[in-house]
Structure 1
């Protein structure tokens, strides 16, 4: 799937499989950022990935008092620049996210990020690329 006419947010909305992610991005106030020039690489958890979190986790995170925590979690899913799956094939990398944290990208057997597998790669958008992942990334404690 390639969408070279829509930005990352509009592509995620149109796909219909990222309602929890779009709601979280909206609650965190990151819509305008992700509609910006970029380019960005977004590792987008599917709705099934959000559903796999412990009960109440998403509801708790989107409460207004948890905006900083929600923002930190969401920024773990965004890398600066446009990184396609082929760019990491055969490599182990530890890039910094746009939030400043480091994540581990393993391209030696498919692609995974901090253990979450990329299930759909290289959804090109006007301001970057989306890779669908099967889990929500959480900060390392």
Structure 2
């Protein structure tokens, strides 16, 4: 399994303000999706992007998808499986990392990181737990470890599984995955 160098830094107010200014924050929670409800996913009503935005805990991811020009792709037919880091996961990156990645001159690096969180196809938790690895949209593979009812993707914990969307499934993770680390 890959190991990651993770240092914790506070989430900057500027980034949150940017996400809010882009209109990407929504106060709606994921109704019916709690840890332990993974066996009973509700009927999907929105695509991956709209589902994530409505959750209210993926504002940084939504801002990054916008900056990378990937919103239309993830609103497309799919299906996609997205390992979605929360705002807290982005906040745990070293200070200044997210702000640097959102700069236009770093778009290629941002795209590489974001596409490392996406696997083509629909992989519910029952299927993910049976894999040792999966090839991401950017061509790299993520390591998958399932043990004692928990699943880790490249060392990130899946904290909520099987958030359904019309064009795929979202598994919420507690760490931003970095390709090549």
TM-score normalised by L of structure 1: 0.95
Where do 5+ consecutive residues of structure 1 fail to align? Answer: none
> Which of residues 90, 95, 98 in structure 1 aligns to 2:137?
98
Which has the greater radius of gyration? 2
Q: Partners of 2:176 and 2:161 in 1: how far apart? A: 16
Q: Partners of 1:94 and 1:120 in 2: how far apart? A: 19
| Residues paired across the two proteins, number | 140
1:56-110 alpha-carbon deviations (Å, 9 max, x no partner) = 1000000000000000000110001010111133x34221101111111112241
Is residue 91 of structure 2 the alignment partner of residue 38 of structure 1?
no
1:104-140 alpha-carbon deviations (Å, 9 max, x no partner) = 1112241110000000000010000000000000122
Q: Partners of 1:125 and 1:37 in 2: how far apart? A: 11
Q: Partners of 2:128 and 2:48 in 1: how far apart? A: 21
Q: Partners of 1:49 and 1:83 in 2: how far apart? A: 22
Moved over 3 A (4+): none
Q: Partners of 2:168 and 2:63 in 1: how far apart? A: 20
Q: Partners of 2:147 and 2:128 in 1: how far apart? A: 8
Aligned residue number for residue 64 of structure 1: 104
Q: Partners of 2:107 and 2:153 in 1: how far apart? A: 23
> Which of residues 33, 52, 56 in structure 2 aligns to 1:12?
52
> Which of residues 105, 123, 138 in structure 2 aligns to 1:83?
123
TM-score normalised by L of structure 2: 0.75
RMSD between aligned residues: 1.1
